[in-house]
Structure 1
Amino acid sequence: MEIGDFVARKSYDKDVCFIIVEVDKESETAILKGFDVRLVADAPLSDLHKLTDEERKQFEAASHRVEDECLRLIKSRRELEHEKRSLRKEARFESSPDFFERPGRVLHLDGDGTYLNKCLTMYRELGIRAIGKHVPEAQMPKTVTALLEEHEPDIVIITGHDGVIRKGKNWSDIYNYRNSGHFVQTVRQARKYARNFDDLVIIAGACQSHFEALLDAGANFASSPQRIMIHALDPVFIAEKIAYTPINETVNVYDVVHSTYTGTDGLGGLESRGKYRLGLPKSIY
């Protein structure tokens, strides 16, 4: 087994595709990161099954199906919301229909550069203005304030990889998580920058993250209520709903979470105001 190999864990019935990121030959263990879930785990080398090309393709195909289905649901919802907004626009701008639209802006901090690029591609697909920064989880608390001051986003995403270190132990102990403590500190710094929950919407966490601690620190939305794995793009799907909900409306928490792959077991949050605005007039330039 080598760094970069695609593997699955035999003890978990090969349910998740991982990539080996570190190998300790002395202890014969490997550090793994999820291929399409935001999870970091360790496993004995003897528990790992190196995936064949065909098995890897099957995992990739399943991941694409998940993404395509989430995108289909979002576009379907967008069409319905567009019809509603059209009525709103007609009422508000019937004397001067030359308006323009401005969804919320996103600053996305990600501990995984590969996932970040994947998310940025999805933002472009969804028509969302987004700035992405690859920042290791441990460095996020020190860098988030300067990035917020530089980019002045409406929505900030704080994510990467996480995981429960010792299952069956105290799940309320923040030290029993690989990166939840870093995410909590980052959320606190971001909330100091913008204390009003509607001025800056904070989405935080990764797989199995300490949901309650993230909300207590000041996040609007967080993972993971049932300490399950979340999909790499789940934070993007939450940001999309907030970015395209009008500022005079409160985002329905259930609708936000329903637009993700993992649902309420993987993500939850608080009522928050949308970030979508209409403007007038549209510039000819």
Structure 2
Amino acid sequence: MELTPVKLEVNAIVGRKSHQCDILFRIIDILESGGVRTAILYGEDYRLVADAPIDDLELIDPREYKRRTKEFRSMEQQSLELFRQDIDLQKQKQEYSSTNAYREEYNYFHVPGKVLHLDGDQSYLQKCLDLYEKIGVPVTGVHCNEKEMPEKIGPLIEKYRPDILVITGHDAYTKSKGKKSDINAYRHSRFFVNTVKEARRRVPHLDQLVIFAGACQSHFESLIHAGANFASSPLRVNIHALDPVYIVAKISFTAFTEPVNVWDILRNTLTGDKGLGGIETRGVLRTGMPYKPVEDE
């Protein structure tokens, strides 16, 4: 009895047989040329875009998908708990400073930095917005195709006046297109670079607008030279979908009078310093007083 072949369609969760199904992908599109069908793939948990012949793809069993997703959610929860501990410690330091070492009572309030998050993936953007909300970071999210980001970033900065800008989506390095030093060998890095340059034309100072830029395997050096404070990916590895949130949230909750050590930012991310890096940057949190809730008469 012959088995009916599985039909792979858009939105199916698959793995690449040639890579031992190491990363879970969702099929975004299927193209056909010369009788060969090729699938465009977006990573489920990594900000990676790839393409593969349909024959190289294997449909992931729902039980396997559930198991692997559970592992990732556990990693995300651990990272979130570590981050919350970090923020609690930061708040204690600020309280100590605001109350003159607890010798005086002040009613004060905090104004964390506002984030503008541009994302080439609507699904990832929503995941990030949910995490921003859990942490308490004020954010505006905009879904935007990576190729359109350079022309759209200027008006968005003028409209939202963010303290922190995130420019991310999907990316990938293709060895057949050139060396790792050649930015043309990357799917979207040049668009991220041009977006950073355009943002820096509007706000040149590194501490007046803090920028994170990049995705999986992005051209790290070009992004930093273009004016990003933080970027991916130093060793051209894949980065987790939520890593940009942990980086900018740390900056959002650090006082503007304090520099943020790069390692302090990277240590609670899911990818670490192989996939993320940056330069020393000041926080953007500001403390005000007095805090007196207005009562309705």
Q: Answer whether TM exceeds 0.5 for this pair.
A: yes
Partner SS, residue 171 of structure 2: coil
Partner SS, residue 175 of structure 2: coil
Match of 2:82 among 73, 77, 87: 73
Runs of 4+ deviating beyond 3 Å: 92-96
Distance 2:161 2:178 in 1: 40
The equivalent of 1:212 in structure 2 is 221
Match of 1:188 among 193, 197, 210: 197
1:11 aligned to 2:57? no
Distance 1:217 1:207 in 2: 18
Contact 2:110 2:286 survives alignment (8 Å): yes
The equivalent of 1:60 in structure 2 is 69
Once the two structures are superposed, what CA deviation does each residue of 1:113-166 show, in whole Å capped at 9, x if it has no partner? 110011000000000000000010011001101000111010000000000123
Distance 1:276 1:167 in 2: 45
Equivalent residues in 2 for 1:12-27, closer than 5 Å: 12-25=19-32, 26-27=35-36
Distance 2:82 2:286 in 1: 22
Contact 2:114 2:137 survives alignment (8 Å): yes
Letter in 1 for 2:256: I
Once the two structures are superposed, what CA deviation does each residue of 1:48-105 show, in whole Å capped at 9, x if it has no partner? 1101110111121122112101101101212222222221121189555111111111
Contact 1:93 1:99 survives alignment (8 Å): no
Match of 1:156 among 137, 153, 165: 165
Q: Which has the larger radius of gyration?
A: 2
Letter in 2 for 1:5: A
The equivalent of 1:106 in structure 2 is 115
Match of 2:126 among 117, 132, 143: 117
Equivalent residues in 2 for 1:158-177, closer than 5 Å: 158-166=167-175, 169-177=178-186
Distance 1:155 1:93 in 2: 31
Distance 2:282 2:258 in 1: 6
> After alignment, is 101-110 or 19-28 more displaced?
19-28
1:140 aligned to 2:149? yes
Distance 1:167 1:274 in 2: 40
Letter in 1 for 2:72: S
Distance 2:79 2:177 in 1: 32
CA RMSD of aligned residues (A): 1.4
Contact 1:158 1:203 survives alignment (8 Å): yes
Partner SS, residue 212 of structure 2: strand
Identity of aligned residues (%): 45
Query: How many pairs were matched up?
Result: 285
Distance 1:48 1:149 in 2: 44
Flag structure 2 segments of 5+ consecutive residues without an equivalent. 1-7
Letter in 1 for 2:188: N
Contact 1:37 1:230 survives alignment (8 Å): yes
Letter in 1 for 2:22: D
Once the two structures are superposed, what CA deviation does each residue of 1:15-72 show, in whole Å capped at 9, x if it has no partner? 1100001112432221100001100001111111101110111121122112101101
Contact 1:174 1:181 survives alignment (8 Å): yes
Distance 1:283 1:123 in 2: 26
TM-score of the two chains, using structure 1 as the length reference: 0.97
Contact 1:40 1:162 survives alignment (8 Å): yes
TM-score of the two chains, using structure 2 as the length reference: 0.93
Letter in 1 for 2:78: E
Contact 1:187 1:214 survives alignment (8 Å): yes
Contact 2:26 2:42 survives alignment (8 Å): yes
